[in-house]
């Protein structure tokens, strides 16, 4: 692993990777199969380190499963002796294994994300300031009941002025209860389907839609 790559990885884990670095990481993964085992180990190490920071057990397990699955896939995908030997899924079809490289990248992406579920969200997705912003804000759409409201009450309306808010308490969808998830995903799926619809067939414009 080159220093550049290490630097990018480290930046990513700290939530500070630039777009260019993210791209480089993706690229490196795809092009160099020999990097993957060390990536995975790196992730495992990081997750242990992160474990000190109140990494939820179930998330940790999920991460481990993902890593394991990734390694399994890789065993099949990469004909060379696997660095981390595990009982791999040898039955995977060629078509599936073609996707393995990409899915491993995704696994690691998700892994990075998961390892950062600490009180200070720093991961890829979590580092979006808009998304980690405290749920209480100027327009008053409050957080769910169980969620501690950030007391940094007066949020500036201009998003340009937003900075990272490390105490952001916004939950990811899957942290909600199963029932809440089920209901919200129904909306997600409906939204996806509306977006997918053939616009030529189904556009309806009301006379005076609510606007501005």
Partner 1 sequence: MLNRFKSIALCLTLAGLPVMALAAEEGDAESWLEKMGRALREESYEGIFTYMRGYQFDTVKVVHKFEDGKEKERLLHLNGDQREVLIDGDTVTCRHEPGADVDLEREVSLGPFTHAFNENLANYQSFYDFTLTGHDRVAGRPAIRLEITPKNNDRYGYKLWLDEATGLLLQSHLISQGHVLEVFQFSRVDIGDPVDDSHLLATLTGDVVVHQLAPNEPDTATATAQARKPDWRVAWLPNGFRQVRTTSPNRILFSDGIATFSIFVEQGKSSRLGEIVTHMGGTVVITRRLKNTAQQITVVGEVPVDTAKRVAESVEPVIY
Region from 10-18, 34-42, 45-53, 79-87 binding partner 1, contact rule CB under 8 A: 10-18
202 binds partner 1 (CB under 8 A): yes
Cβ contact 44:2 at 8 Å: no
61 binds partner 1 (CB under 8 A): no
181 binds partner 1 (CB under 8 A): yes
Nearer Cβ to partner 1 (33/125): 125
| C-alpha distances in Å from residue 71, one per residue of 47, 127, 206 | 16, 27, 53
Binding residue for partner 1 (CB under 8 A) from 14, 80, 159, 166?
Answer: 159
Nearer Cβ to partner 1 (81/159): 159
Region from 1-9, 36-44, 78-86, 121-129 binding partner 1, contact rule CB under 8 A: 121-129
Structure-block tokens of residue 5: 């790559």
Nearer Cβ to partner 1 (22/82): 22
Mark 41-80 as b/e (b = at least 16 C-beta within 10 Å): ebbbebbeebeeeebeeebbeebeebbeebbbbbbbbbee
145 binds partner 1 (CB under 8 A): yes
Region from 35-43, 47-55, 75-83, 119-127 binding partner 1, contact rule CB under 8 A: 119-127
Structure-block tokens of residue 76: 């099949």
Binding residue for partner 1 (CB under 8 A) from 56, 80, 129, 152?
Answer: 129
What single string gives the DSSP state of each residue in 48-91? HHHHTTT--HHHHHHHHHHHHHHHHHHHHH--SPPSS-----TT
């Amino acid at each position: 692993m080159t220093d550049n790559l290490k630097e990018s990885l480290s930046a990513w884990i700290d939530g500070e990777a630039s777009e260019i670095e993210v791209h480089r990481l993706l690229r490196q993964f795809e092009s160099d199969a020999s990097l993957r085992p060390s990536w995975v180990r790196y992730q495992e190490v990081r997750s242990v380190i992160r474990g000190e920071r109140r990494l939820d057990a179930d998330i940790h397990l999920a991460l481990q499963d993902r890593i394991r699955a990734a390694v399994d896939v890789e065993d099949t995908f990469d004909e060379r002796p696997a660095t981390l030997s595990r009982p791999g899924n040898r039955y995977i079809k060629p078509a599936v294994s073609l996707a393995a490289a990409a899915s491993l990248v995704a696994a690691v992406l998700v892994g990075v994300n998961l390892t950062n579920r600490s009180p200070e969200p720093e991961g890829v997705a979590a580092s979006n300031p808009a998304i980690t912003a405290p749920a209480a804000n100027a327009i008053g759409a409050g957080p769910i009941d169980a969620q501690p409201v950030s007391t940094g009450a007066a949020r500036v309306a201009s998003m340009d002025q937003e900075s990272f808010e490390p105490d952001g308490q916004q939950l990811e969808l899957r942290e909600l209860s199963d029932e809440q998830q089920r209901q919200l995903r129904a909306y997600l799926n409906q939204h996806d389907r509306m977006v997918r619809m053939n616009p030529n067939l189904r556009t309806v414009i009301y006379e005076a839609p609510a606007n501005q």
